[in-house]
Amino acid sequence: MGYESIRILVVDDEEHIRIALSRILSRLGCEVLLAEDGEESLSILKDTRVDLVLLDLKMPGIDGMDVLRTIKEEIDPHILVIIITGFATLEIAVESMKQGAYDFIPKSFDKEHILLVVKRALDNILLIQEKERLDKERKDALLDLITEKSRLKTILEVLPNGVLVTNNNREVVLINNTIRKHFSISDSVPLGLDISYYITHDKVLDFILFGIEEEGDISCEFKINDDLYLLIKKNSIFSEDQKLLGYVVISMDITPLKKLDQLKSEFVARVSHELRGSLSTIHEQIALVLQDLIEDPEFSADKRILEKAKQRTRGLTELIEKLLDLSRIESGKVYVDIKDIYMEEFLSSRFEDWKDQAELKKQHMVLELNTQGDFTIKADPRALNILFNNLVNNAIKYTPEGGKIYISTYKQGDMGIVAVKDTGIGISKQEQDKIFNRFYRVKDDSTKDISGTGLGLAIAKGIVDDLGGDIGVISEKNKGSTFLVKLPLVG
């Protein structure tokens, strides 16, 4: 073990002893300072850190015992002091021990003996130094931890978003002020209780505990009350061996956005109503003028222009109808009258209308009910009307004259399926992902003469999502398409 970090002061009035001791100690690797009397030793000790003092007792002026006392009482009681004495009597030994001396060495210069005593003292000093170093490290680490913890706490508290963390036992281990405000959790509710003590909103609690994440997280909007809408995001945390460690839940106040959205929807709805009224008047008037135009080649150009104008007003009316549907869906107006719907009954009641429309294009429409009356879902019939009108109208629109359309029902576990199948123009694989986006329309030779808004399937998907179901398409270009709507069955 190296003693390089240790500084020793040798205090002796006899020069040859100072020199001899200095030689022995330097070989051990220590730094050695020398003092020839008590006064000089005290002045060195006042300015310089020393770990060990080898101290002669009998010196002129301040003697060794006084130096020892001053070291222990005034300078530093931790400095080890070894007494060098030529005549070790029992009284001297007892007195110097009382004053705090560490050990003795004889002046007889038994080198081995000196080394033994000094090394023991040096090892002791090294141990103390090591302990001091470890103590400091621990204190520093503790300080770091405390600073880190309070920094984290401060950050969490000033976050505009709510944060809640649970362990794998559903107990809440961390919560910030924002989420306390969002869920009106009193400050007196301590940490460590089951999550249901904090999140008393049933739907949010269900979502946190049972919502299944895709790509690491899941988020959902909730209306907490008329004045608070929250976007809740949940991440499940897993250990390396895939054991659930707990959940991290973030809540964001989206009330201002929702209010703005509502205003926007109301605005669109109002403007659309106005436009629809005026447009249908224009449409009717054009139709009247067209009826009255005599079959005279002189008017054929005017007739063509008016036919175009009539077609455009029809397109605009369709767009407005779709925008109105969207705003009804977004404002929740189509989810007010939720009741049990017997799907077979519902489809049968709409079938005649759809069939009539198909017959205008000489298409053959078939209803196949394969669910033996056992297909009941919970929904508002208005939402279902919009959903299936869009799918059936598309099937008619994108299927040439003489084609076939099948509407069928199936069951798969706890889901009911309605399939709308046509023998129309089909949709290529690349387009199939995009057709459910708002305003997306396939643009190619087969669709160039078919008018539309690109909103029908986005509306259909919005409704199916809101009903907790799923919508998808199976299609092949020029062969036909099948749209599949899966909806959760009652019970």
CB of 461 to ligand ADP, least distance (A): 9
CB 24 within 8 A of CB 18: no
Total binding residues for ligand ADP by CB under 6 A? 22
Cα 278 → chain centroid: 49
Alpha helices in 293-413 (DSSP H): 300-330, 343-360, 381-397
Choose one: 132-140, 239-247, 281-289, 393-401; the region binding ligand ADP (CB under 6 A): 393-401
Query: Measured between alpha carbons, how far apart are the two ends of the chain, in Å?
Result: 79
* Residue 156 vs 384, nearer CB to ligand ADP: 384
Would you say 43 and 62 are in contact if contact means Cβ atoms under 8 Å apart?
Answer: no
Residue 481 binds ligand ADP (CB under 6 A): yes
405 binds ligand ADP, rule: CB under 6 A: no
CB under 8 Å, gap of 24 or more: what pairs does 167-175 form? 167/245, 167/246, 168/243, 168/244, 168/245, 168/246, 170/194, 170/195, 170/196, 170/209, 171/195, 172/197, 172/198, 173/246
Minimum CB–partner distance for residue 452 and ligand ADP (Å): 3
CB closer to ligand ADP, 99 vs 423: 423
Q: How far is the CB of 400 from ligand ADP (least distance, A)?
A: 11
Contact status: 454 vs ligand ADP (CB under 6 A): yes
Contact call for residues 387 and 348 (beta carbons, < 8 A): no
| Long-range contacts of residues 408-413, Cβ cutoff 8 Å, at least 24 apart | 408/367, 408/368, 408/369, 408/370, 409/343, 409/344, 409/347, 409/368, 409/369, 409/370, 409/371, 409/375, 410/370, 410/371, 411/370, 411/371, 411/374, 411/375, 411/489, 412/486
* Smallest gap from residue 365 Cβ to ligand ADP (A): 13
CB of 321 to ligand ADP, least distance (A): 11
Minimum distance, C-beta of residue 199 to ligand ADP, in the bound complex (Å):
38
Interface with ligand ADP (CB under 6 A), residue from 453, 464, 471, 486: 453
Half-sphere exposure of 300 (CA within 13 A, CB side): 3
Q: Residue 396 interacts with ligand ADP (CB under 6 A)?
A: no
Question: Residue 313 or 394: which CB sits closer to ligand ADP?
Answer: 394
* Nearer to ligand ADP among residue 118 and residue 471 (C-beta): 471
- The H-or-E segment that residue 416 falls in is strand 415-422
Is there binding between residue 462 and ligand ADP (CB under 6 A)? no
Site string for ligand ADP, 416-445 (x = CB under 6 A): ------x-xxxx-------x----xxx---
For ligand ADP, the closer CB: 326 or 457: 457
Nearer to ligand ADP, 300 or 437 (CB): 437
Give the C-alpha separation, 375 to 371, whole Å: 6
Rounded Cα distance between 176 and 181, Å, is 9
Could you tell me which stretch among 9-17, 82-90, 101-109, 391-399 binds ligand ADP (CB under 6 A)? 391-399
CB of 312 to ligand ADP, least distance (A): 15
| Interacting residues of 365 by C-beta distance below 8 A, sequence separation 6+ | 351, 354, 355, 358, 359, 404, 405, 406, 407
Closest distance of CB 261 from ligand ADP, Å: 21
Q: Rule CB under 6 A: is residue 394 a binding residue for ligand ADP?
A: yes
Closer to ligand ADP by Cβ: residue 313 or 390: 390
- Site map (CB under 6 A) of ligand ADP, residues 274-313, x = contact: ----------------------------------------
The reply on whether position 65 binds ligand ADP by CB under 6 A is: no
Strands (E), 119-243: 162-166, 172-175, 218-225, 228-238
At closest approach, how far in Å is the CB of 481 from ligand ADP? 4
Q: Is 79 a residue that touches ligand ADP (CB under 6 A)? A: no
- Cβ proximity to ligand ADP: between 105 and 442 the closer is 442
Cα dihedral 427/428/430/431 (nearest 10): -20
Please count the other Cβ atoms lying within 10 Å of the Cβ belonging to residue 478.
10
Sites for ligand ADP among residues 361-380 (CB under 6 A): none
Binding flag, residue 457, ligand ADP (CB under 6 A): yes
Q: Report which of 409, 271, 410 is spatially closest to residue 350, judged by C-alpha positions.
A: 409
Binding footprint of ligand ADP on the chain (CB under 6 A): 390, 394-395, 398, 422, 424-427, 435, 440-442, 447, 452-458, 481
